[in-house]
Copies of this chain bind each other. A is one copy, B any other.
Amino acid sequence: MKLNRIINDPDLVVEDAIEGYVAAHPELFAKTDHERVLKYPAIPQKGKVGIVTGGGSGHEPAFLGYVGKNMVDAVAIGEIFSSPTAGAFLDAMKASDGGAGVACLYGNYAGDNMNVKMAVKKAAAAGITVKTVVANDDVASAPITEREKRRGVAGEILMWKVGGAAAAAGYDLDGVIAAAQKAIDNCRSIGVGLSSCIIPAVGHPNFNIDNGMMEVGIGHHGEPGINVVPLQPAKEMAHTMLEPILKEGIFEAGSEVVVLVSGLGATPTMELYIYYAEVDRILKEKGVKVHRSYVGNYFTSLEMMGVTLSMMKLDDELKKLVDAPVHSLGMVQG
């Protein structure tokens, strides 16, 4: 199996895509001296905490699609499904530093952890204070007792939204970090994979899901899930995915939540809404109130079929920050 793709050179897909992003949206993206770092043109903004993230490519609109007004200031861009370099993270930190320090809000993967850690050290040596929040919202990747092992998935978007809004509202670095940490602490996610994807430079499927089967708890790069089961109707799939999330015990009756349903790339939008309808129904039955919902391709894995469900419990502060205006490719709110 080899996919028909719209590319030039499979080894240059990231470079070529970056050219397209910058050409299409000059109001959102400015190049920097580092070819794998893009920044929001209006930054650094003096006195504002800088917001940095980064990660592997292939998850578009994540990560670079969340660069924008009141969200991420600069992004370090990795190869497909690979961490950006420490140098890219460092240059993103430098690009976004307006003198008030930088919050690096990223996902819990070995490569990212290592490279961010190195970049934070080098930034400190250059006089820039960087503090970090590591997203670990994927309930399927480890038990709650080992939360530090859990992967960061689409809940990262809500962390960026909250952190970005806090920085825009004038929070200091510790305040931004606390808000972003609270966002991810109150967030839980899980994914279901229905088909694999093919990394262009590799040319064969990353993994395999048989016809008629689905993998519950699959990661954004095809990391193994909890189990592989026969494909369920949307209604049952919603139950299967909500169960481990609700078991965490943070979403009680009366809670107000944000729900984010993301396709993994190739699942038609209408299926995401069919799925959302079931999630919404179950949450209503449980007395959990959906304050705001996002449904679409927010965090993908090339052309995988499947869906991820993320939920964040709100308090007054998180609600205000989630509701704040934002302008990025992946998320626009007036």
Interface residues of chain A, those whose CB is within 8 Å of chain B, are: 2-9, 13-14, 16-21, 23-25, 57-58, 60-61, 65, 194-195, 209, 211-214, 231, 233-235, 237, 261, 265-278, 280-281, 293, 295-297, 300, 302-303, 305-307, 325, 327, 329, 332-334
Residues on B with C-beta less than 8 A from A306 are: 6
Whether B23 and A237, one on each chain, are in contact in the complex, defined by CB atoms closer than 8 angstroms, is: no
Partner of A7, one of B233, B276, B297: B233
Partner of A277, one of B23, B195, B266: B23
15 A/B residue pairs, CB under 8 Å, sorted by A: A4-B212, A4-B213, A7-B274, A16-B274, A16-B277, A17-B271, A17-B273, A19-B274, A20-B273, A23-B293, A60-B269, A60-B270, A61-B269, A268-B303, A332-B333
SS of A interface (majority): mixed
A272 to B194, CA, bound (A): 23
Whether B6 and A307, one on each chain, are in contact in the complex, defined by CB atoms closer than 8 angstroms, is: yes
- Whether A211 touches B2, Cβ cut-off 8 Å, given contacts A58-B268, A265-B268, is yes
Residues on B with C-beta less than 8 A from A231 are: 4-5
A233 to B265, CA, bound (A): 21
User: Which of A13, A269, A272 has the most chain B CB atoms closer than 10 A to its own CB?
Assistant: A269
Q: How many copies does the complex hold?
A: 2
A20 to B273, CA, bound (A): 5
Residues on B with C-beta less than 8 A from A20 are: 272-277, 280, 295
A91 to B183, CA, bound (A): 44
Whether B307 and A8, one on each chain, are in contact in the complex, defined by CB atoms closer than 8 angstroms, is: no
Residues on B with C-beta less than 8 A from A267 are: 6, 303
Given contacts A5-B271, A9-B233, A60-B270, 15 further A-B contacts (CB under 8 A): A3-B194, A3-B195, A4-B194, A4-B214, A4-B305, A6-B267, A7-B233, A13-B271, A16-B234, A16-B277, A17-B270, A20-B272, A23-B280, A58-B268, A332-B333
Whether A303 and B305, one on each chain, are in contact in the complex, defined by CB atoms closer than 8 angstroms, is: yes
Output the nearest chain B residue to A275 by Cβ-Cβ distance: B6
Residues on B with C-beta less than 8 A from A325 are: 334
Whether B8 and A209, one on each chain, are in contact in the complex, defined by CB atoms closer than 8 angstroms, is: no
Residues on B with C-beta less than 8 A from A24 are: 261, 273, 276, 280, 293, 295
A293 to B289, CA, bound (A): 37
Residues on B with C-beta less than 8 A from A297 are: 269, 297
Partner of A57, one of B3, B7, B13, B270: B270
Whether B7 and A300, one on each chain, are in contact in the complex, defined by CB atoms closer than 8 angstroms, is: no
- Whether A6 touches B194, Cβ cut-off 8 Å, given contacts A17-B270, A57-B270, A277-B19, is yes
User: Which of A2, A60, A213 has the most chain B CB atoms closer than 10 A to its own CB?
Assistant: A60
A18 to B293, CA, bound (A): 15
Whether B211 and A4, one on each chain, are in contact in the complex, defined by CB atoms closer than 8 angstroms, is: yes
Residues on B with C-beta less than 8 A from A25 are: 293
Whether A274 and B234, one on each chain, are in contact in the complex, defined by CB atoms closer than 8 angstroms, is: no
A131 to B329, CA, bound (A): 35
A334 shortest CB reach to chain B, Å: 6
Partner of A274, one of B8, B65, B269: B8
